[in-house]
Chain A
Amino acid sequence: MLVAISVLALLVLLVTQLVNNAASITTLGNQRIDADSQARPLFERMALDFAHLVKRSDVSYYLKTAATSMAGNDLLGFYSAVQGYYPTTPSPISVIAFRVNSDSSNSTAHNCLERMGKGLDWNGASPVNTPVVFLPLTLHGTWPSVTSSSEYDDPDSTRRTYEIIGPQVFRFEYYYIEKATGHLVSYPAAWTSLPAVAIKDVSAIVVAVAVIDPKSKVLLSNSQIATLGERLPDYASGWGPGELLARWQSALDSITNVPRPAISSIRLYERSFPISDR
């Protein structure tokens, strides 16, 4: 009897261990899947937006330049021939912008990656709704929210065209592959300011994001997440392929004042979006 109970206890222990380990493995796997399924649609959406990027010398872009060097999370704004939100007489062109919301008073979007997809009206269709504007009118002059990590495009929350596209993405960084040299750069040397941006100077935009899965995110406060984001360095010209993510991982590994399980579940992703000559 005692032997049987002992054997049973041992069996239960073994199976419990097995289940625990399996649970750990599947949890880790699920966390990765969570992070993957956060990053994948984000990158897919970005790929679509970049594929339809309006590449003209007579429209403006809001991108990283010497004058807009963007410490910490980056801002990205451009026109794209994709559908957007809330146009009255919808033209095929929209304003697209990406940012990580830095507004700590915004309980919904703080530390989340937001995408602005503002559908534009046809030119002259409305005295109120602004259509796509060409130079000398600029994107950021016409839609100032693209320069902000907290302001929205419309005071009416029901007409805002920002959506949370990466609720677990807390770090957003991009850099370029310069066409003339093939080098990875923070920004091309000629891009001294926004008016100097010539989109055909770059052959690709490389986007890197840091994602924390929902289960781990609850272990951290918003301010801790913001601090985490700040610890991940900006890209610096001269870094090689993959070096940004390596430095991010190294920075994460060196953090000691944040729960380790949360840190270890942070996933880093990078994807290059070609900006073809065509």
Chain B
Amino acid sequence: MTCLPSANPAPRRGAALIIVLAFVVLLSGLVVAYLTRAGADRQLAQASFQDTKSDLLARSALDIVVADFKQEIAYGTVVTAANIQPRRWGVPLAGETPFPNLIRRSVQGDPTGRTSSLSSGPAPSANPKRGEITSTRWNSHYLLPRASSSGNDSAPVSNFAAPDWVLVTLQGPNSAPAPSSVIGRYAYAVYDEGGLLDANVAGFPYHGSPSSSATPGLPLSDIGRKGSVAFADLRALPTTASGGFLSTGGINAVVGWRNYATVHPYSTFPNFTFDPPTLAGGTGTRFVNYFAGNPQVGTSHDFTTVAATTYLDRTDQAFITRSELIELQQEAGFGAGALQHLGTFSRERNSPTWKAGTAPITQRFYIANLNLIKPNPPLARNADIQKYFGLKWVDGTAGTVSPPTPAVPGHWQYLGSSGSAMQNGIPAFTTDPEFFQVLNYAINRTNGSDVAHILTTLSLGAALIDQYDDDTAADPLTGTTTTMIEYGGGWAVGLENTDPARPSPSASPFPPPAGMSPTPPPAISTYAMLNRPFRNVGEFGYAFRTAAGPTPTPSPNPKTLDLFSAPSPDAPILDLFTYNSAAVRSGIVNLNTQNVAVVTAILTGAFQTEQNIGPAPSPSPVASPAAKIAATNFVSATMTQAALSRAEITRLSSVVTNPPFTASEETRETIARALAEVTQTRTWGLFVDLITQTGRYPPGTTNLTQPFVVEAEKRYWLHIALDRLTGQVIDQQLEAVSE
């Protein structure tokens, strides 16, 4: 029998095929869907990985940049004018628009030897490609001069060249690696943030509507006596190259926002207004109390933290990042050009850099200690008086008529900080010197035992005490207001213009034949008396400085401390005393700053003389144009020869030759009074702007100029304060930049 073929065998075989195919399709769909999802997940993971890699590269690069500075410090153990400041490179050539804040940028051929010839900037500049950093981005911190005079465009002036890339391989940075070995790159620029005014401290409020006629919201005398960058006049900060300046409205926005709980502004941000300066207990009083201390004898605020004051459930504020300052500027609407002169991070180790002999002085002498020295002090104060001044109070004796024994006024005996017998010389010291030891160290350059200069040193100290205390600080027995110090070999006396115990012109309360011994020296009409606490060490310049030997009659032209001439023997005093007792503090400006506007703002409003007190002082406080001329000469002198310490303020003052600074010794010392407390040379305040990119060159790339495939990018702004003498990091703050 023959089997007939099936009527429809093909469809049966087809069914099986279809079933199998359906399963295959299902399986494939399943696998494809899974693989697609897994692929997307992998890409996300890869992006996350690249981001982390880029972050690690950025932190490593920052370590390298900072290590270069530390290395520079380590190599320059002998600090000279040539190396007190960090080396600059990649800065404009002479004749080009200068970048006062720029210290260095990564540039081919720089001393690190790591930088490639590849610019981070776009080529051509008008058509930036992925991974290229425009100069506008490089200046998004506004620390370079802007090309534009309006708006918030951060594009810098045309002579700014973008930093060059440092190419990184697995073995580290390499200036010319094989393209296949490159795993990332970074470029950086470093700025002198220490040379800027710290916006967390600088500037004071204005009363009245925001206009050029607005008046300061605090007494002119507080501004004029300086002692803190809070009293810098920010109206002197240019916002454009063509003559625009920071508005009082902008300043009020910053100050009202920053010191809200301290000063109690009216209205709302950014349109704050403030009390008139004459209002007792108003804005001005609260502001001055915070920045100059209350009472105004000194302060221990380091200004690295905000005041612990609350008002309407609000507190004061601090700029936590530079980005915050930039955002505030844009919110408040003041000129973006002012940002070139403002920083948000500054630190200073409050230690002198000037030294002589073998004294390792680690802390400046706190001027407020002078407030301890009052005649006939309470017993509880004696220990501190001896510790800080080496003095002990001795009550006066009335004397007798027969036999004639002179009355001895209540006076001080100089025992030294730990002795019990009167000293016949200034004792040697190694650490923690008392007041007279510091004075002697400054003017006689020795920390050894010094018998030769005890009279001049004690006399100078007594004169400083008499300048500091008021006319009511008197010996209860004789009424003398003049400070008298007995030492093992004689007496040293200060100088007061008002002393009821003075024999002339009025009758002495202790007439001959017994009389009084010693007697106050004669008054001098031209001797400017402060009779108030010093606001800064520059005011030491008011104190009478006797010559060696017996106290001469100072009239008619009293010689006071010289804090204005280049060869001044008294200059080190400026570096050895401070109004602020904080060991590390904010708001202190690099004395060697190249930013003229910063020095101008500090000088503007300074009192030329002690007499010009009142709402309309005469002579008027230093005006901004005069301050700018002085600041220009001053900065030019530091650029020629950097200052090693605040002592060199006298040298730098001597190059200022424009009025009103040249009228007298007192007006010449305006610069020392304005700058001595608010400047420093010891700390490098650096702002590192660093951009890193991880990625690779495509396979087969033979030339580094070909496009680099960027996989992730990071930008950081590192604010760091380095101690030039020790290389120690005083403080630092890393700011992740979101763009």
Known: A29-B38, A57-B305. Contact between A89 and B269, CB under 8 A? yes
A92:B324 contact, CB within 8 angstroms: yes
Q: Report Cα–Cα, A81/B324, bound state, in Å.
A: 9
**A277 / chain B contacts, CB cutoff of 8 Å:** 732
A37:B41 contact, CB within 8 angstroms: yes
Known: A22-B27, A278-B734. Contact between A134 and B317, CB under 8 A? yes
Known: A19-B23, A33-B38. Contact between A127 and B315, CB under 8 A? no
Q: Is B30 an interface residue (CB 8 A)?
A: yes
Taking a contact as CB atoms closer than 8 A, the residue among A4, A56, A81, A124 that contacts B269 in the complex is: A124
Known: A122-B269, A277-B732. Contact between A131 and B44, CB under 8 A? no
Q: Report Cα–Cα, A5/B320, bound state, in Å.
A: 78
Q: Is A246 an interface residue (CB 8 A)?
A: no
Within 8 A of B (CB), among A129-145: 130-137, 142
CB distance from B527 to the nearest CB of A (A): 45
**B734 / chain A contacts, CB cutoff of 8 Å:** 276, 278
Of A8-16, A158-166, A217-225, A260-268, the one contacting chain B is: A8-16
**B24 / chain A contacts, CB cutoff of 8 Å:** 15
Q: Is A250 an interface residue (CB 8 A)?
A: no
**A156 / chain B contacts, CB cutoff of 8 Å:** none
Q: Is B257 an interface residue (CB 8 A)?
A: yes
Taking a contact as CB atoms closer than 8 A, the residue among A8, A40, A124, A134 that contacts B19 in the complex is: A8
Q: Report Cα–Cα, A278/B73, bound state, in Å.
A: 21
A44:B48 contact, CB within 8 angstroms: yes
Known: A36-B41, A277-B732. Contact between A124 and B256, CB under 8 A? yes
With a 10 A CB-CB cut-off, give which of B30, B314, B316 has the most chain A CB atoms. Answer: B314
CB distance from B87 to the nearest CB of A (A): 23
- The 8 A CB mask of A1-33 against B (1 = contact, 0 = none) is 000100010011001101100110110011001
Q: Is B343 an interface residue (CB 8 A)?
A: no
A91:B327 contact, CB within 8 angstroms: yes
A58:B34 contact, CB within 8 angstroms: no
| Contact-size category for B | 35 or more
Q: Is A215 an interface residue (CB 8 A)?
A: no
Within 8 A of B (CB), among A66-87: 81-82
**A123 / chain B contacts, CB cutoff of 8 Å:** 257-258, 260, 269, 314-315, 317
**A127 / chain B contacts, CB cutoff of 8 Å:** 268, 312
Q: Is B308 an interface residue (CB 8 A)?
A: yes
- Of all chain B residues, the one with the shortest Cβ separation from A82 is B738
Known: A37-B44, A131-B314. Contact between A124 and B27, CB under 8 A? no
**B26 / chain A contacts, CB cutoff of 8 Å:** 19
- The 8 A CB mask of B321-335 against A (1 = contact, 0 = none) is 101100110010000
Q: Is A255 an interface residue (CB 8 A)?
A: no
- Of all chain B residues, the one with the shortest Cβ separation from A124 is B269
Q: Is A51 an interface residue (CB 8 A)?
A: yes
With a 10 A CB-CB cut-off, give which of B41, B265, B321 has the most chain A CB atoms. Answer: B41
**A136 / chain B contacts, CB cutoff of 8 Å:** 308, 310, 315
- The 8 A CB mask of A117-130 against B (1 = contact, 0 = none) is 00000111111001
CB distance from A49 to the nearest CB of B (A): 11
- The 8 A CB mask of A86-129 against B (1 = contact, 0 = none) is 00010111000000000000000000000000000011111100
A19:B318 contact, CB within 8 angstroms: no
Q: Is B81 an interface residue (CB 8 A)?
A: no
Taking a contact as CB atoms closer than 8 A, the residue among B41, B260, B738 that contacts A124 in the complex is: B260
Taking A93-B324, A122-B328, A124-B272 as given, write out 14 further A-B residue pairs in contact, using a Cβ cutoff of 8 Å, ordered by the A residue number.
Answer: A4-B12, A22-B31, A54-B320, A58-B318, A81-B320, A89-B331, A123-B257, A124-B268, A124-B314, A134-B315, A136-B310, A137-B310, A276-B59, A278-B732
> Can you identify 10 A-B contacts, CB atoms within 8 angstroms?
A12-B19, A16-B23, A26-B30, A44-B48, A82-B738, A122-B257, A125-B269, A133-B315, A134-B305, A134-B318
